[in-house]
Structure 1
Amino acid sequence: MKVNDRYCSFYYEDDDDWGEVEIDPETTALLVIDMQHVFITRPEIADPTEAQRKRAERWEQFYRAIDEVVVPNNERILAAFRERGMSVNFARIACLKRDGSDRSLVQRSSGYNDLLVPLDDPVGQIVPKLAPKNDEIVFTKTTDSAVAGTNLSLLFRNMGIDTVVCTGVLTDQCVSGTVRSLADESFKVWLIEDACRASTEEIQRAELEILNNIYCHVINTDELLAALGDA
């Protein structure tokens, strides 16, 4: 089934089974994934080396998208869910052992994914604009998937949740891993295209096309809010 004609892969180009964006507030949860300083806050380097300067230039388009599109849309979605008393949840990467020995292999590999973020490290906290409130659940994981690395599936089922709206970073890594795990656990998943982000637009589009219509339905913030009854 398709709900729009965007990010339609080879597998679904000739699919004529169309549906609507429908959200049941009683059984739907929001999951904001890894919107932490370590991933979405620009590093401040007083006197950067040439290599650091070039790296900053490569990543600027990502941080601009985060600041101008992804964070504002997450704020809109959080406000809509909270106003309706709907389930709001977060996932974040943080290791429980200070030496990181509890991390999964994917989070101790070389390069970008070599993540050592202790539980109480300030860089591992969710950014203030999107910070959890009251008794909203924060799932702490040492894996990419927020399902494989936590008791999220158990708690969602206990709360009567069968549908999950996903946002966050990075689309092709922890967001994708979580979406796939949720689908495998038979949750219905809505992935919000302008409230998540990969490192580049090219990777973003490719991953959304891979996930859409198989593991989730990719929609945008306006479509989600319209389904919730917002004009």
Structure 2
Amino acid sequence: MTYTEEWVTARARDAYEHGRASFKVRPECSALLVIDMQDEFIRPGWSPYWVPAATRMAPRLRRLVEACRAVSVPVIWTIFDDTHLGLDRPHALRYLPHADTVWHRPGPAEVWEEMDLRADEVLIRKPSYGAFYDTPLDTTLRNLGRDTVIVTGTLTNYCCGTTARQAYERGYKVVFGSDVTATDDESRQEPELAVLRKGFALVLTADVITNQLAAGSSSSA
């Protein structure tokens, strides 16, 4: 067979738009990662880093958190924070856009209170975009016996997308919430989902994730 340019282009486009990883979301194997749903990104008007789309999707993500709790899926939260005096952050970060924004957080970084972080849930403070970079996340997941991560939160194309790629590279099955992630320019949402869909993750809506978790819980009861 001769593979034409038109054929390979159409095949790639189909994978970006409609590709679907072949695994199911099983509650006994999964953990929910809630990435950086913290005050400076979610609390309306509170900082120059506010992500309005993330505030709008927060109630939907809160419902997914509750659905995961109901079927004993661990919920793990992250915060993008100033850890170790900033000495553990990638050195090049200081040279990137917005690094010079004059804004000082009036206190420690915290999960937005309306997300209802619980005292018995893991909270990881991370120094960079990806939640696996220089954090105990991988050890935590392995100690929980989880091989599947459900990635949610903000920003879709930075901290969430980087975490999804890092999880993939570590051998995890990655589920990415298409409508429980958000970014600061909504035109960037679908392009990031397309790349993840083709090469890194099973991209699903919150309702589909919830239904698969509930079905898996019922079948194992």
Q: Letter of the 1:11 partner, please give it.
A: A
**Normalization by structure 1: what TM-score?**
0.77
Match of 1:48 in 2: none
Write the mapping of 1:103-122 to structure 2, written as runs, cut at 5 A.
103-113=89-99, 121-122=107-108
How far 1:34 sits from its partner (Å)?
Answer: 0.6
Change (3 A) 1:128 1:40: same
Match of 2:190 in 1: 205
Asked whether the equivalents of residues 166 and 191 of structure 1 are also in contact (C-alpha less than 8 Å), the reply is yes
- Give the total of aligned pairs: 205
Q: Deviations over 1:142-178 (max 9, x none)?
A: 0111012312112211211000001011111111110
Q: Distance in 2 between matches of 1:105 and 1:42?
A: 30
Q: Deviations over 1:83-123 (max 9, x none)?
A: 1222110111112244x33322354334324589999924x
- Structure 1 stretches of 4+ with a deviation exceeding 3 A read 14-21, 113-120
- Structure 2: give runs of 5+ residues left out of the alignment: 1-9, 216-221
Q: Letter of the 1:30 partner, please give it.
A: L
**Normalization by structure 2: what TM-score?**
0.80
Match of 2:54 in 1: 66
Match of 1:101 in 2: 87
Q: Letter of the 1:195 partner, please give it.
A: V
Identity across matched positions, percent:
27
Match of 2:165 in 1: 180
Match of 2:219 in 1: none
Write the mapping of 1:46-195 to structure 2, written as runs, cut at 5 A.
62-63=51-52, 65-68=53-56, 70-98=57-85, 100-113=86-99, 121-122=107-108, 124-195=109-180
Match of 2:40 in 1: 38
Q: Letter of the 1:203 partner, please give it.
A: R
- Structure 1: give runs of 5+ residues left out of the alignment: 1-8, 46-54
